[in-house]
Amino acid sequence: MFQVRIHGRGGQGVVTAAELLADAAFRQGQYAQAFPSFGSERTGAPVVSFCRISAAPIRVREPVLAPDALIIQDATLLAGIDVFAGLVPTGYALLNSRHSFAALGLGDRVAPLPPGHAIRVPATELALAHLGRPLPNAALLGAFAALYPGLDLDAVLAALRERFPGAVGERNVAAATAAHDAALAERAATAGTKERVDA
Amino acid sequence: MLSQIEGSKAVAKTVAACRPEVICAYPISPQTHIVEELSRIVKNGELTGCEYVNVESEFAAMSVAIGASATGARAYTATASQGLLYMVEAIYNASGMRLPIVMTVANRAIGAPINIWNDHTDTMSQRDSGWIQLYAEDNQEAADLHVQAFRIAEELSVPVMVCMDGFVLTHAVERVDVPEEADVARFLPPFVPRQLLDPDQPITMGAMVGPEAFTEVRYLAHQSQLDAVDVIERVSAEFASVFGRHTGGLVRGYRLEGAGTVVIALGSVLGTLKDAVDAEREQGHAVGVLGITSFRPFPYDAVRAALAGVAQVVMVERAFAVGVGGIVAQDVRTAVEGTGTRVHTVVAGLGGRPITQASLRGVLAEAYAGELGRLTFLDLDRAVVAAELAREHAAEAPRAAARTAVRSPDAADTVPAGGAVPVR
């Protein structure tokens, strides 16, 4: 079983991201379970959602306590919440930021992860460019398909097109594809050299 | 159709496939996406021959369902939490008049304090209402139970509540084989009411019944619930023959073979429990799980048979009777009466608190060691409780002193012997 925890803020499509991820996994023939953390839903408030992916039916319903992957939609959460809590040593971390983990003071947190497992993409900027709105979730899912070998970009794009029919879907597809490319480039830059330090 | 779908939407599509003729709902929190999706389905023309009634309260929702059902229409509504409480008077009327309404309850806590999250306090408050109560383990079962519920309700002329954990199931997106209309039509015949409000052949339903017959009416309601035990089991088997999967029924055991300890639960926690029990079995502990799908009627014989030879039961409940303890545990104790099986109640998951495998396995370790008490509150923050009790105790001291002063001999000059108050 592969467990993903998504951190973001109300209004950023955190719950939708988990549902889209589950839908993409379903399209790949996997069992998947997506659910939100059940807080009061307010715009801007910290929100967590979860997604489990497995070749076998999923029965467990507790929150994801030891994620195999983290998707961090909003870097401003890092100051107040230990988003890395429970991340397994072989896990993945995907961060929406123009800045590197090291520049954000998180070098120590991602250093133990295998090379190429912690990457950042400027998903908000890509969303603004392609959607015209700062909704990073679709872009991050495209990037996640570049990070996690179990997820295909085509499945993500199909899930996006079903969820957002028409032009909106195509704009999300463009954002996800651009982020996928950015993530591949970031992986190539960070794999083997651990985290690249920049300003 | 096999879909990756939100629990609420899966239920809505399933209900639509059952072709209800009247759906009534009050669209305010606490409500679910179920009726929202059904309103869309009706408006889009995907469900014809159905009137969607937007009512002004949950009381009205159940009242409209009663009226619709009495005129021979297949009637459906959904609610949760305080919404369920608000319709209670009508809930008893529905069962008292033997109207086969099907209602989803997305289980949520009851305030005060305000809490929108999941537990079973809402439906447990209606355990004696005369409705059948079926609890879903996952969203596949939640969907399937609705198809079975209409069959059971209409065969027995008794209303059925399908209880599914709010948020945990209603908001979970997972794989569901949503029952399709053609298959449902093979399983669920058209509704033929037992009695009917018809202007050409007028009758009165729910009329005054005096002491000379009220007991008999109540007894007949009791008998219909006893009959339901067999019907629920049979309907589940017939459902399996049409749809190819086993859902519903009275109880379902998991790894009960040779189990000395059995954990019993209702609803979505069963999945987490099964994973926990797999891990326990790997460590050599003889432990199993018994899921109770039908809480009303309570399947005493099935529970007793499933627990034959079991030393102890850990009853995990998402609600409790304040000042008493477990609710389901009382029925389980009755079921195992005379067998020597010990029953421990563990109250868990109140107001949306997650029930984790780690906590459940901690309780099981206590149970194996013979250290588990009769009543345990899972993950109770004892420090917070102790601090609050100390604060209350401190605040109580001056009030207790005031009461003592009134009763003490020192106060005799203000309250004359005999208690008479002097008249000025």
Among B219, B271, B251, which Cα is nearest to B328's?
B251
Q: How confident is the model at residue A40 (pLDDT cuts 50, 70, 90)?
A: low
Instruction: Select the residue of A18, A31, A60 nearest B271 (Cβ to Cβ).
Output: A60
Average pLDDT over residues A176-192: 90
The alpha carbon of residue B394 and the mean position of all alpha carbons in its chain are separated, in whole angstroms, by 39
In this prediction, residue B385 carries a pLDDT of: 97
Q: Is the pLDDT of residue B419 over 70?
A: no
Query: Average pLDDT in the A26-33 region?
Result: 98
* pLDDT band, very low/low/confident/very high, at A42 (cuts 50, 70, 90): confident
On whether any CB of chain B is under 8 Å from the CB of A166, the answer is no
φ, ψ of residue B159 to 5 degrees: the values are: -75, 150
Q: What is the DSSP letter of B350?
A: G
| Among B142-156, B193-207, B408-422, the least confident range | B408-422
Angle, in degrees to the nearest 10, between helices B7-17 and B33-43: 40
Structure tokens at B337: 């009466």
A41 touches A101 (CB < 8 A): no
> Of the candidates A18, A19, A62, which has its C-beta nearest B355's C-beta?
A62
Return the H-helix or E-strand segment holding A120. Answer: strand A118-121
Instruction: Label residue B10 by pLDDT band (50, 70, 90).
Output: very high
For B116-171, how does the pLDDT look when each residue is reduced to its tens digit (9 = 90+)?
999 999 999 999 999 999 999 999 999 999 999 999 999 999 999 999 999 999 99
| Per-residue confidence band for A80, with pLDDT thresholds at 50, 70 and 90 | confident
Looking at the predicted structure, is the pLDDT value of residue B418 above 60?
no
Residue given tokens 């779908």 in the structure block: B5
Q: What are the residue ranges of helices labelled H in B267-341?
A: 269-282, 300-306, 328-335
Phi, then psi, of B130 in degrees rounded to 5 = 90, 0
Percent of chain A with pLDDT over 70: 93
Q: B173 in contact with A at a CB cutoff of 8 Å?
A: yes
Output the pLDDT for position B422: 47
Please list the residues that pair with B45 across neighbouring strands: none
Quote the strand ranges of B26-70, DSSP E.
51-54
Give the pLDDT band of residue B405 (cuts 50, 70, 90).
confident
Note whether A43 contacts B: Cβ–Cβ < 8 A: no
Q: For the whole model, what pTM was predicted?
A: 0.94
How far apart, in Å, are the Cα atoms of A196 and each of A24, A99, B375? Answer: 30, 10, 55
pLDDT of residue B32: 84
Is some CB atom of chain A closer than 8 A to the CB atom of B271?
yes
Residue pair A19/A69 in contact by the 8 Å Cβ criterion: no
Nearest to B173 among A22, A38, A65 (CB): A22
Q: Which two tokens stand for residue A135?
A: 């909704």
pLDDT tier at B193, thresholds 50, 70, 90 = very high
Nearest CA in chain B to A40: B116
Residue A185 near chain B (CB below 8 Å): no
pLDDT of amino acid A196: 42
- Best B32, B173, B361 member to test A by mutation, with max A CBs in 10 Å, is B173
CB B71 within 8 A of CB B196: yes
Environment class of residue B400 by beta-carbon count within 10 Å: exposed (0-12), middle (13-18) or buried (19+)? exposed
> Residue B411's pLDDT is what?
52
- pLDDT at site A189: 85
Instruction: Tell whether B117 is within 8 A of chain A (Cβ).
Output: yes
Q: Report helix, strand or coil for A104.
A: coil
Contact by Cβ (8 Å): B306, B254: no
A193 pLDDT band, cuts 50/70/90, is very low
Name which of B138, B175, B269 to mutate to probe chain A: the one with the most chain A Cβ atoms within 10 A of its Cβ.
Answer: B175
Any B CB within 8 A of A35 CB? yes
Distance between CA atoms of residues B205 and B197, nearest Å: 8
Query: Which residue in chain B is spatially nearest to A162 when comparing CA positions?
Result: B4
**What is the distance between the alpha carbons of residues A123 and A98, in angstroms, rounded to a whole number?**
8
Residue A120: per-residue pLDDT: 96
Whether residue B75 contacts residue B20, with contact meaning beta carbons closer than 8 Å, is answered with yes
pLDDT tens figures, A123-171: 999 999 999 999 999 999 999 999 999 999 999 999 999 999 999 999 9
Q: Rounded CA gap, B95 and B66, in Å?
A: 10
Residue B407 pLDDT exceeds 80: no
Question: What pLDDT sits at residue A84?
Answer: 96
Closest of B313, B318, B320 to residue B264, by C-alpha: B313
- How far apart CA B316 and CA B346 sit, in angstroms, is 5
Could you tell me if the ipTM is greater than 0.90? yes
Name the residue with tokens 């305030």.
B111
Bridge partners of residue B388, in order along the sequence: none
Asked if residue B80 has a cis previous peptide bond (ω within 30° of 0), the answer is: no
The answer to whether B75 and B65 have CB atoms below 8 angstroms apart is yes
State how far the Cα of A73 lies from the Cα of A124, in Å rounded to an integer.
Answer: 9
Reported as a single tens digit per residue, the pLDDT across B334-358 is 999 999 999 999 999 999 999 999 9
Q: How far apart are CA B287 and CA B255, in angstroms?
A: 7
Which amino acid would we find at residue B355? I
**Closest residue, chain B, to A60 (C-alpha):** B272
Q: pLDDT, tens digit, for every residue of B225-256?
A: 999 999 999 999 999 999 999 999 999 999 99
Return the residue of B nearest to A49 by Cα. Answer: B172
User: How are strands ordered across the β-sheet holding A92-96?
Assistant: A118-121, A92-96, A69-72, A2-9, A46-54, A31-36, B173-177, B2-6
Interface test with A, best of B140, B174, B277, B318 (most A CBs within 10 A): B174
Q: What is the DSSP string of A70-89?
A: EEES-GGGGGTS-TTTT--T
Closest approach of B17 to chain A, Cα-based (Å): 22
The whole-angstrom separation of Cα B141 and Cα B138 is 5
Write out the DSSP string of A131-159: TSS---HHHHHHHHHHH-TT--HHHHHHH
Residue that is written with structure tokens 């809590």 in the block:
A85
- CA–CA separation, B105 vs B126, rounded Å? 11
Does residue A97 contact residue A122 with C-beta atoms inside 8 Å?
yes
> For residue A177, what are its two tokens?
């594809």
Please compute the mean of the pLDDT values over residues B35-44 and round it to a whole number. Answer: 96
Rounded CA-CA distance A73/B187 in Å is: 47
Contacts of B305 (CB under 8 A, 6+ apart): none
Section B100-126 average pLDDT: 96
Percent of chain B with pLDDT over 70: 96
Distance CA A94, CA A91 (A): 10
**Band of pLDDT at residue B360, cut at 50, 70 and 90:** very high
For B358, the closest chain A residue by CA position comes to A62
Residue B171 contacts A where some CB pair is shorter than 8 Å? yes
Q: Alpha-carbon distance B214 to B220, whole Å?
A: 10
What does DSSP assign to residue A62? S
- Mean pLDDT across the stretch B271-293? 98
CB contact under 8 A, A62 and B354: yes
Which domains does chain A carry?
A: 2-191 (3.40.920.10)
Q: Do B166 and B108 touch, CB atoms closer than 8 A?
A: yes
Q: Does residue A195 carry a pLDDT above 60?
A: no
Query: Which residues of chain A neighbour B355 with C-beta distances below 8 Å?
Result: 61-62
What gap in Å lies between CA B148 and CA A163, rounded to an integer? 31
What's residue B166's pLDDT? 96
Side chain identity at residue B370, one-letter code: G
**Which pLDDT score is estimated for B254?**
98
In terms of phi and psi (left: phi > 0; alpha: psi -120 to 50; beta: otherwise), the region of B418 is left
Tell me the average pLDDT of chain B.
Answer: 95
pLDDT at B100 over 70: yes
Using an 8 Å Cβ cutoff, are A111 and A87 in contact? no
Cβ neighbours for A135, distance < 8 A, ≥ 6 positions apart = A12, A13, A127
**Which residues, including other chains, have CB under 8 Å from residue B49's CB and lie 6 or more apart?**
B19, B21
